[in-house]
């Protein structure tokens, strides 16, 4: 796809600092017309800052940006838009209370003398959606009622509503199901055939192999490798570039035999009996023994997160009950579940799991405050010391309990959430997409940690969109489709294709 044509966008020696952080330390990047240029790097490597420089959201401190060979200043997002640069952010920036058409034309509404021309906007939106392979999305539908994949399409339509020559996509596949990813790739191929350049960011190496032309690897604010062939570069080499070390088997060895506390002999710690929520998932039975890891595999919308949250009491079931050590939990009561020994690492880490303004120590101790309090009075040094000890145990970096948690990378933020439940001494850990937005190196650490907790007798219920993750970690796997368990088996008896088939078709044949 990439011809001998000159680059459409060239960045040279871009630097950008924030107080205390040098986010970009002289980055070079060149993007050719019609290519898919993949940007790889661990969290904190500078990817987000770099794309914000390209989209005009951040002004670089130093360096040069050339557009079609001419030096330009991208002083604002609208300046970038005028040049033909569109960005689809990881956290989709759509207005939920507006319709699809209104979102697509937000900021450049078609109007006559200040009055909106709704008909024209609707027609234009319908054309864009059809071009994106989704003519079924009605332009007058409220964006708030669309599923994640639909919103992604709307974001894409918004990008294409401008005269666009370069699209930046920040982890577009993170919220998508496999078939939606396939559709995304079809769209990208259509765009590149028209000569549009795509800067594609993803943590998933297999996607980069499928769609990418060239790869630039960022590490610590520098480009450590530029323009590698996406198809031919060995995974080992890419991972080594990202982490600075050779990454081998990400999944720790499965223990040969379950520990003394675990195994079929032990009494189940968690028992779910006929638990259901109308419209979300059908009656579910499940037992979890100490030391056991059970995986829930299924597509987005198959009811996975809903099941976890209902077990945890964050949603009230319409039928069934949850028992811990044989005693039923009060339905719809998180505090009761936590007291009984449950802990949840939620899917949306920042929105549901963390107090971003607070320090690491406070984020870790928040579920165990009672332990450090006498009559409501907090022993803050004991609290901080205990939180720090747990954070160290998980080698959370930086090793500073006072660091604001929002400055941590995704993997370390997840460790802060896990440290919270470790400190609480939880016995049933519910993990919802534990490695979303977590880089390769930190993933391996998290996998090892989950295994270690299980070996110590913690029961783990794991939800993940990444089938290899479920198969690699779990002892037992329940495959979900449209709110129903369609298959349950030992993880060793399943493989990725089989689970995919089950997830898509639901037929155990």
Partner 1 sequence: MTQGATSEPASARQAGPAPAEPPGRARALGPGARAALGGPAGIHSLSLLGVLAVLAVIGAVTAPDQFLSTSNLQLILVQASVIGVVTVGMTFVIIGGGIDLSVGAIVALASVWCTTVATQEYGMAGMVFCALAVGLGCGLVNGLLIAYGPIVPFVATLAMLASARGFALQITDGRTQIVTVDSVLTLGDHDSYVLGVPPLVLFFAAVTAAGWVLLNRTTFGRRTVAIGGNPEAARLAGIPVRRQRLMLYALSGLCCGIAAFMLVVLSGSGQNTNGNLYELNAIAAAIIGGTVLSGGRGTIVGSVLGVLVFTTITNLFALNNLQTEVQQIAQGAIIVAAVLLQRRTHLAAP
Q: Which is nearer to partner 1, 245 or 327 (CB)?
A: 327
Question: Token digits for 8?
Answer: 């459409």
Task: Give the one residue of 182, 351, 385, 488 binding partner 1; rule: CB under 8 A.
Answer: 351
Helical axes 178-193 vs 496-505, angle rounded to 10°: 90
Task: Give the one residue of 312, 451, 462, 478 binding partner 1; rule: CB under 8 A.
Answer: 312
Asked if 358 touches partner 1 (CB under 8 A), the answer is yes
Q: What's the rounded Cα separation, in Å, for the pair 285 and 320?
A: 9
Shortest distance (Å) from residue 378 CB to partner 1? 6
Given the rule CB under 8 A, which of 6-14, 109-117, 402-410, 444-452 is the region that contacts partner 1? 402-410
Q: Which is nearer to partner 1, 247 or 334 (CB)?
A: 334
Asked if 332 touches partner 1 (CB under 8 A), the answer is no
Q: Which is nearer to partner 1, 43 or 49 (CB)?
A: 49
Q: Which is nearer to partner 1, 308 or 491 (CB)?
A: 308
Q: Which is nearer to partner 1, 144 or 370 (CB)?
A: 370
Asked if 416 touches partner 1 (CB under 8 A), the answer is no
Taking Cα atoms as reference points, which of 415, 394, 414, 413 lies closest to residue 404? 413
Give the bridge partners for 460, in sequence order.
Answer: 293, 429
| CB-CB contact of 233 with 216 (8 Å) | no
For residue 491, the 8-state DSSP code is G
Task: Give the one residue of 6, 13, 21, 399 binding partner 1; rule: CB under 8 A.
Answer: 21
Interface map 361-400 toward partner 1 (x if CB under 8 A)? xx---xx-xx--x--xxx-x---x----------------
Q: Which is nearer to partner 1, 367 or 455 (CB)?
A: 367
Q: What's the rounded Cα separation, in Å, for the pair 463 and 440?
A: 18
Given the rule CB under 8 A, which of 19-27, 203-211, 246-254, 443-451 is the region that contacts partner 1? 19-27
Number of residues this chain uses to bind partner 1 (CB under 8 A): 43
Asked if 354 touches partner 1 (CB under 8 A), the answer is yes
Give the bridge partners for 99, in sequence order.
Answer: 142
Asked if 404 touches partner 1 (CB under 8 A), the answer is yes
β-strands 214-219, 222-229 pairing: antiparallel
Taking Cα atoms as reference points, which of 247, 161, 164 lies closest to residue 205? 247
Residues 6+ apart with CB under 8 A from 426: 338, 341, 342, 343, 458
HSE of 428, CA atoms in CB hemisphere, 13 A: 23
Asked if 115 touches partner 1 (CB under 8 A), the answer is no
Shortest distance (Å) from residue 407 CB to partner 1? 6
43: number of Cβ within 10 Å: 19
Q: What's the rounded Cα separation, in Å, for the pair 276 and 324?
A: 17
The number of angstroms, rounded, from the C-alpha of 112 to the middle of its chain's C-alpha atoms is 41
Residues at the site binding partner 1, with contacts judged by CB under 8 A = 18-21, 23, 49, 312, 314, 334-335, 337-339, 344, 346, 351-359, 361-362, 366-367, 369-370, 373, 376-378, 380, 384, 401-404, 406-407, 420
């Amino acid at each position: 796809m990439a011809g001998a044509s000159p680059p459409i966008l060239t960045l040279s020696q871009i630097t950008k600092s924030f107080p205390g952080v040098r986010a970009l330390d002289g980055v070079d990047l060149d993007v050719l017309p019609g290519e898919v240029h993949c940007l790889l790097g661990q969290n904190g490597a500078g990817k987000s800052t770099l794309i914000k420089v390209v989209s005009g959201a951040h002004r670089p401190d130093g360096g040069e940006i050339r557009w079609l060979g001419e030096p330009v200043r991208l002083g604002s997002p609208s300046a970038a838009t005028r040049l033909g640069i569109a960005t689809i952010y990881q956290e989709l920036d759509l207005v939920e209370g507006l319709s699809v058409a209104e979102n697509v034309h937000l900021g450049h509404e078609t109007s006559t003398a200040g009055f909106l021309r709704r008909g024209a906007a609707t027609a234009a939106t319908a054309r864009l959606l059809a071009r994106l392979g989704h003519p079924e999305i009605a332009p007058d539908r409220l964006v708030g009622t669309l599923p994640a994949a639909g919103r992604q399409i709307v974001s894409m339509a918004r990008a294409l509503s401008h005269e666009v020559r370069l699209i930046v996509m920040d982890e577009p596949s993170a919220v998508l199901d496999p078939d939606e990813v396939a559709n995304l790739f079809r769209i990208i191929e259509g765009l590149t055939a028209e000569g549009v350049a795509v800067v594609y960011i993803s943590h998933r190496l297999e996607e980069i192999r499928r769609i990418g032309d060239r790869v630039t690897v960022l590490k610590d604010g520098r480009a450590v490798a530029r323009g590698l062939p996406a198809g031919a570069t060995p995974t080992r080499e890419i991972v080594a570039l990202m982490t600075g070390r050779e990454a081998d088997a990400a999944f720790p060895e499965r223990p040969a035999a379950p520990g003394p506390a675990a195994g079929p002999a032990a009494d189940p710690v968690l028992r779910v009996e006929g638990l259901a929520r109308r419209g979300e998932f059908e009656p579910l039975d499940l037992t979890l023994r100490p030391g056991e890891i059970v995986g829930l595999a299924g597509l987005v919308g198959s009811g996975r997160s809903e099941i976890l949250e209902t077990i945890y009491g964050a949603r009230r079931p319409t039928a069934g009950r949850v028992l811990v050590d044989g005693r039923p939990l009060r339905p719809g009561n998180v505090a009761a579940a936590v007291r009984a020994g449950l802990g949840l690492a939620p899917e949306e880490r920042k929105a549901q799991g963390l107090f971003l303004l607070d320090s690491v120590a406070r984020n870790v101790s928040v579920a165990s405050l009672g332990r450090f309090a006498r009559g409501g009075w907090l022993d803050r040094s004991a609290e901080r010391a205990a939180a720090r000890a747990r954070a160290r145990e998980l080698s959370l970096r930086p090793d500073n309990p006072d660091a604001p948690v929002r400055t941590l990378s995704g993997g370390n933020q997840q460790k802060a959430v896990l440290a919270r439940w470790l400190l609480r001494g939880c016995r049933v850990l519910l993990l919802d997409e534990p490695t979303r937005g977590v880089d390769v190196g930190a993933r391996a650490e998290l996998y090892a940690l989950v295994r270690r907790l299980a070996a110590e007798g913690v029961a783990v219920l794991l939800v993940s969109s990444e089938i290899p993750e479920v198969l690699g970690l779990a002892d037992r796997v329940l495959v979900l489709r449209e709110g129903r368990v369609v298959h349950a088996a030992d993880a060793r008896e399943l493989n990725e294709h089989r689970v995919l088939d089950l997830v898509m078709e639901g037929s155990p044949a």
